[in-house]
Structure formats: structure tokens, C-alpha cells
Structure 1
């Protein structure tokens, strides 16, 4: 059975309890009064940073151009702010032993594919740790990304253009970007190379770049005009079409992330089984409503899911939806 793992913010929270969710980021922005003059009524009330980012990125017909340009600039500032917060928490993460370690070892040995909406590097760090305990196995962040990326070190003339080689496992699809991916920061970046950091002292090479943080908004059109980003999403679409079991771990399928929600609804293999790992029971209902009649399993505890997955009992006792 071809497992495809689809990871949301709840997965990173499960690995690293201090990693903030989007609601936490929204609260923090309001507490700091970050671009408070642009808050709309919805954001003031809900603290939903996803809908707020949608508002900032959308050109409304009644707005003056100057107002829209201010919103665009604020959206870029917020992306940088999110990058800073996530990066600070990411730097403190250390992979642990036990079932979490065995989980990543199993993903490596099974050559699993992973679609993640998380910006952080917890997944990559956990794979690196797992590979060290598997004889003859190595893991490379850059070579696992299903995305044509250029090493940032190439900017000083010592690297070469690099693309992700085909058929390398595990495959990692980071649909919302990553804290170690960089681009010009321009609204339109068609034809641009996207750079990846490789964990060395290279800060001088990306000082003029912006992190590629694609917010979970209603529309991502301005972010999709780059060929590499479109290739990434198309490749994820192909994975969804061919998978036989989808594991939604920590993903709540929010209405605000309509592009991802629509992709799951329309692209997932009609015969695929779905496993939902989430403590929020309302997610179970939302997933079933979106994905229709299927064979579902539900786990409210990440620990319970990992125990059954690493012991090969995943489908023996799953609670049906």
C-alpha cells in the first residue's frame, strides 16, 4: 500500500510543543500591533492570520492603488515576521528517540512521500537523525525536495545549479515554501531561480533575498507565477492521484486555505483510504464532508497513531469515521 503523508501545522506542534500554530501567530501579531492600521474587522475579531493574509494579498475593486500597494508591502513584512518566529523555534528543536524516531526510520525504509504545509525544518531534521541509525542510509535535504532549487553557495561561484534528481526517496513536497528557501521577494518572480540554504555559514549570500513563505490564503495566484513552484504543486497533484492511502496528520483543512482544500477534494485518488490524525473531532467531520464516502480511520492521539504505524497495526483497529 502506497502511503502518502500530508502534514499540517499540528504535526510540527506534535514534534515540538513550542512551535506556534497559525492562530498563535495571529495573536502574537495583534499583541505587537504589527501593521495595526491595516487590520480588517475579521482579523480583529478572529485573529485568523490566514484570512488576514488573504485580505492583504487581494486587490479589491474599491481600493486605490496606493492602498493596495501598502497592503502588499505589509503582506511581505508579515511573511518575513512569520519566517523569523518559525526560524527561532526551529533552531531549538532536537529529534527524540522512541516511536517518533522509529516513525521516521520507517518512512525512510518504506521510501514514503510526504506533502507538508509547514515552513519549518523539523521534518528534515528528524529524517537526518533517523538516517544516522540506519546502516548505509543517508539523507539530504536538498536532494529530497521535489522542487528545482539552486544551492545558495552558488552565488559566490563555488556551487553549481542543482535540481532534485528523479526517483529519490523520501520525496518531500513543501507546498507553502520553507524557511531555507529564498527568492527576490518581488511580487512577480517568473523565471527566477529559487535558492536553498544548506546549513553552512552563508548568511552573506542571502542578505538581499526574501524567504519563500507562501501563506495559506484564499488565493495564491501571485505566488504561482514561478515555474518551479508550479512544478512542485503539479508533482504533488500526481502523488495524490496515485496514492492508495492518505494520512492527514495535524491538518485541519481550514476553509481559508481553499487552494489546498480544493486540491485534496478534486485530485485525491477516488479509491484512496484516508487516515486522520487530529485531536479536534470537528476536523473528522470536515474531512469527511470534503472528501466524500471513503474508508476512513481516525486517531485523536499522535502517540496512538505512531504506535500502530511503527508496529504495522495501522489498519487493524482504526476507528471508522
Structure 2
């Protein structure tokens, strides 16, 4: 790591490069063809006023208490967790000192294994998990500016994205969608649109130019119709007329739900069960949000619930080799997120090893761009160590957080 640390010191504040020429000094087209990968973590959304994970937990507790007081399943789950940590680890916790991700990990294991038996409420979780997900969605929604009131760096980022770029986001919010809508740039929220479904393979419909956004952990405006469909089937088997009550899918289209995907899909495609809401203000304007959004718990065990979104991951172990850029914004790669570490390791290794010295579409691959907010040497060294698999001879680091200068850094050419 010695040589890396020396190189890192030179690169940390190197934010601007000449975009007009490649490494051979040859004039480049002003418009980049795209084919870049952008990975967004929580740090991407913080400048828009979105809460951090540390802010979410006490606010969730406050809202549950405001709704039900302190005698409810959520608070009983908290006390069970406090007792578990005391007797298993010798750790003294209180309701105010609990770490949200560790608490949700405990609940995820309990729910995934069905330890509560008949009290295992739904595919979204047990009672405590449902409270957390509903109120996380509500809190984030309330803190998200409208598409016309975002900080300018989001519009600039959206403008500079190419319709050939792919954005992988780990965030539940809709900041990027709103920025793209503001600048009038089309996007889709699923990997491929199909023109025809085949027996062995599907035919991709690539007739539309649009940015691809893959929300690996779900979104606060996504909801599943699976429970509603199961209810319809139960009514049918029992010979009951009508349909079960449902706050989204049998409520006179109160919230304007529409499919996440469009075009033909395989019958077993889990994405066909996911719907977005147009009137999200009306939904989260309820004191108690009436349904649970399709978001993975903010826990160390979230991958066990990734099945609805597995199509988002398909083939990423081979990505990067023929891409022109890889950028990571506001994601510090926590040690417990091994599934993301493996994915990013594969992408960046492919990117930095394959076709590095040859132009693709008349452009050389850009350096890996890493944007984070680090204020001291210790924090910067920690970031470099977390991403130790990056070849820093082929990477640039910016540690002043996401901003207009960071956007310039991200889209400038290093070679």
C-alpha cells in the first residue's frame, strides 16, 4: 500500500481534466458516447437534504410512538433485541442507542427463518419490519425536494448522462428520477425492454434512447401486487364475488399505480408484480402510510430479500470490460456489504484490465472516478483501503462530496 498512498496524496484534489483531447493529443468529439457505469450511494442524495441512516432510526421510533404509543409489536421487538444483545454479547443497549442496521439484521433473520411461526405476517416482514419500512419511505419522501427545487448539481448530472449510460443506485429515494424528468431526459427502471418473448431467449427492444437506472434495494414509490393477486385467487377458490380490500390495487386507483416495466415479459418475471405510484404525495400524506413499499431492509442481511430484484444483478460479473467509464458516488463500501464488494470488485477489475490501451468508439477508457466526503487524512486513507482492489494508477479520487465541482470531476476525461 505504500506506493498507493503516495499516489493517493497527489490525486485526492485533482478534480479537473481537459475533456477536449485524448491521451494521444487527438481532438475528441465534444459529446461522449456514454456506455459508462455510475454507482450511487447515500452520499449522492445528502446534498438534496435526504436523511442519513443515523437520522432515520430515531424518527421512525418517534412516528411509531405517535401512532401507537409504546405498547406495540415494534417496541416489544426492540426490547427483545436489547435483551438478546445483553445476554448474547454482554452489550448494554437502550432504545436510544440501537444501531438501525444491526437491529434490522436481527429482525430479517427472525423473519426469513420464520421463527415467529404464525406471526410471520407477510413477504415484506414481521410487524416491526413493516413499521420501519413504511415510515422510512414516508420520512425520505418528506425530505425529497420536488423535481423543480433540487440543487443544481443534480440537474447538471442528469444533463451530462448519456442515454447509453447505466446508473446503479443503492438508494430508496427518487432524486435522480426527478432530476431526469426536470431536464427532459428519458429513463427506464429495469435492465431490458423486450420486443418479443422467445422459447429460449427474448428479443431486446433497443428502439428507445433512455438512461437505465437499476435500483438494487428498491424504491419508496414501488409496491407489489402479489398479496392482492393471492387474495383474488383465494376469493375465486371460495366462490366469493368481488375482490379483497387493498389500499393500492383495489382503491379506485387512488394513488395512480402503473407497472414498473412495459412491453412483453416472461410470465415468471418478478418485475411484473411491481408497480409505481404517480400520486406519491397523497400516499405518504397519510399519517400512517397504508402499504409497505418495495424496499430491502437497511440491514446487513438485505440480500436474502433480493429475489424480486435479481434481474438487476444478472451478468454484472462480466461488466466493465467494454465500458468507457466507472464512477462511484457517495458509497463508502461498508465491510458488511460483501455482496456489493464482490460485484464492484468484478466490474472494476474487468474495467481496468480489459482494453485499457485501445480506444473504444474512438475514446479511451476514463479513469475510475471515486467521489466521497472525507474531511481528514484518516478518513481518506480509510476510503482508499476500503477500495484497495482499485488500481489507483488508473483512478482519481475526489473527497469534497457530491457538488457541482464533483459533477465536473466525474464527467471530465483523465486520459
Superposed pair shares fold, TM > 0.5: yes
Q: Indicate the SS of the match to 1:11.
A: helix
Q: Among residues 374, 382, 387, which one is paired with 1:288 in the alignment? A: 387
Aligned to 1:101: 155
Deviation at 1:255, TM superposition (A): 2.1
Question: Pairwise mapping of residues 1-321 of structure 1 onto structure 2 (< 5 A)?
Answer: 2-14=35-47, 16=48, 18-29=49-60, 35=75, 36-40=78-82, 41=85, 47-59=98-110, 65=116, 69=120, 72-90=126-144, 92=146, 94-96=148-150, 98-108=152-162, 111-131=164-184, 138-140=185-187, 144-146=188-190, 166=206, 168-184=209-225, 193-199=273-279, 209-226=291-308, 229-234=309-314, 239-240=319-320, 242-272=322-352, 273-280=367-374, 281-291=380-390, 295-301=394-400, 302-303=402-403, 304-309=405-410, 312=412, 314-315=413-414
Q: Indicate the SS of the match to 1:195.
A: strand
Structure 1, residues 140-199: CA drift from partner, whole Å, max 9, x if none?
A: 5xxx111589xxxxxxxxxxxxxx95464200000010111101586xx98571112235
CA distance in 1, matches of 2:310, 2:300: 17
CA distance in 1, matches of 2:100, 2:183: 34
Q: 1:22 to 1:239 in 2, by over 3 A?
A: farther
Moved more, 53-62 or 249-258: 53-62
Q: Indicate the SS of the match to 1:210.
A: coil
CA distance in 2, matches of 1:202, 1:97: 24
- Contact (CA 8 Å) 1:95, 1:101: kept in 2 or not? no
CA distance in 2, matches of 1:62, 1:223: 12
Deviation at 1:278, TM superposition (A): 0.7
Structure 1, residues 191-237: CA drift from partner, whole Å, max 9, x if none?
A: 5711122358985xxx97531011243333542333xx111222655
- Contact (CA 8 Å) 2:368, 2:395: kept in 1 or not? yes
CA distance in 1, matches of 2:322, 2:114: 44
Aligned CA RMSD, in angstroms, stands at 3.9
CA distance in 2, matches of 1:6, 1:198: 26
Bigger Rg over Cα: 2
CA distance in 2, matches of 1:79, 1:298: 34
Q: 1:262 to 1:31 in 2, by over 3 A?
A: farther
CA distance in 1, matches of 2:140, 2:41: 14
Deviation at 1:242, TM superposition (A): 4.5
Q: Indicate the SS of the match to 1:212.
A: coil
> Any stretches of 5+ residues in structure 1 without a counterpart?
132-137, 150-163, 317-321
Q: 1:257 to 1:185 in 2, by over 3 A?
A: farther
Q: Indicate the SS of the match to 2:160.
A: helix
- Contact (CA 8 Å) 1:173, 1:232: kept in 2 or not? yes
Q: Indicate the SS of the match to 2:57.
A: helix
Deviation at 1:276, TM superposition (A): 1.2
Q: 1:216 to 1:233 in 2, by over 3 A?
A: farther
The structure whose RCO (Cα within 8 Å, separation 6+) is larger is: 2
- Contact (CA 8 Å) 1:252, 1:283: kept in 2 or not? no
CA distance in 1, matches of 2:292, 2:118: 22
CA distance in 1, matches of 2:111, 2:276: 34
Structure 1, residues 19-47: CA drift from partner, whole Å, max 9, x if none?
A: 10112113434566763324444775864
> Any stretches of 5+ residues in structure 2 without a counterpart?
1-33, 66-73, 86-90, 194-203, 231-267, 284-288, 353-366, 375-379
CA distance in 2, matches of 1:26, 1:185: 28
Q: Indicate the SS of the match to 1:128.
A: helix
Aligned to 1:134: none
CA distance in 2, matches of 1:185, 1:209: 13
